[in-house]
Amino acid sequence: MLYWTPTGSDNDYNLKNGKLSSDGEPLFLDADITLVATQAVHEKDSFDEKYDENADYAFSGNSDSTGLENNTDTAAMTVEIASAEQLLAFAQAVNSGNTYEGYTVKLTSDVGLGGYDWQPIGADTGANVFAGSFDGNGHTVRGLTVDVEENAGLFGCVIGDIANVNVDGAYIKSQSRAGGIVAFVYGDVTGCSVTNTIIEAIDESGASGGNAGSIVGESGDGVFAITGNTAQKVRLTANRDCGVIAGSVSADTSAAMADNTADNVGVKWSGYGAEGENIGPNPENAHVGVVR
């Protein structure tokens, strides 16, 4: 039951028991009410009217470098990441010049990054790259939000391998290179998934704005395995070189790609640059935008 006491001039009326009554009279109304939950922070990852399950993404943005250090075995060259705070500390370490070359880094729990502006692990193609092996152990990173000039993704620039990590409910944006898992990689990407995600590589000047994929933005020259990955409910927009799994790969990597699946993945031209340049399925490989 709703209860309302109106206010205003005597010329305003409300309905009471089917009759008009003057101001000051309370309104009682029997009604069936449907409440709809909406997402203030993560609305960009909504693809239907269903509120996201397990939507406990909120992240304070605090870094746990002590926990990361405690979980690092320098003798065995392994690192275990058990929280969003430790994942942030790991990203900050890489982006400060620690490449973790030769290390195996394992994610040991699901993490939520909601409400935090994520700087990709491996921020650039120079000294700040990740050069180890990352194993997500089937865990999921939820609520990822990335908005950078280039190399947008959970990972930015990687000279190494990434496996078994899932990204769900992400919004990833750059002017050049964007991938749900990694933007630019010289290495294998296997057994990963990206779901309920929006990815954009848009440069309004038309100068770049390319290399966007659900899993990989661009794979470097060479032969690398992009296999066993899954994309579901992903929307991709780019100026050029945009594919459902990878935006741009070498001919050798394209030939080696296998067992990747894409369901309900949309690919479209941004409206900037040359219209439809390598947007969508490539004749040589339906899962990529361009084969170099």
pLDDT digits (tens, 9 = 90+) for 235-292: 999 999 999 999 999 999 999 999 999 999 999 999 998 877 899 888 889 999 999 9
- The structural domains of the chain, with segments of one domain joined by +, span 1-33, 44-291
What share of the chain has pLDDT > 90, as a percent?
72
The residue type found at 197 is: T
Based on its alpha-carbon atoms, the radius of gyration of the chain, rounded to whole angstroms, reads: 24
Assess contact for 234 and 166: CB atoms under 8 A. Answer: no
Closest listed residue to residue 87, CA positions, set 134, 152, 125: 134
Closest listed residue to residue 196, CA positions, set 243, 232, 228: 232
Higher pLDDT, 236 or 46: 236
From residue 235, alpha-carbon distances to 12, 23, 85, 245 in Å are: 49, 51, 28, 11
pLDDT at residue number 233: 98
- Both tokens assigned to 148: 């950078």
- Mean pLDDT confidence for 162-168: 98
- Mean pLDDT confidence for 68-89: 98
Neighbours of 58 (CB within 10 A): 14
Assess contact for 196 and 235: CB atoms under 8 A. Answer: no
Assess contact for 242 and 289: CB atoms under 8 A. Answer: yes
pLDDT at residue number 273: 86
- Both tokens assigned to 240: 């050029």
From residue 195, alpha-carbon distances to 92, 198, 290 in Å are: 25, 9, 22
> What does pTM read for this prediction?
0.81
Q: Is the pLDDT of residue 56 over 60?
A: no
Q: How far apart are CA 182 and CA 179, in angstroms?
A: 5
Dihedral, CA of residue 60, residue 66, residue 71 and residue 75, to nearest 10: 150
- Mean pLDDT confidence for 108-130: 93
pLDDT at residue number 284: 87
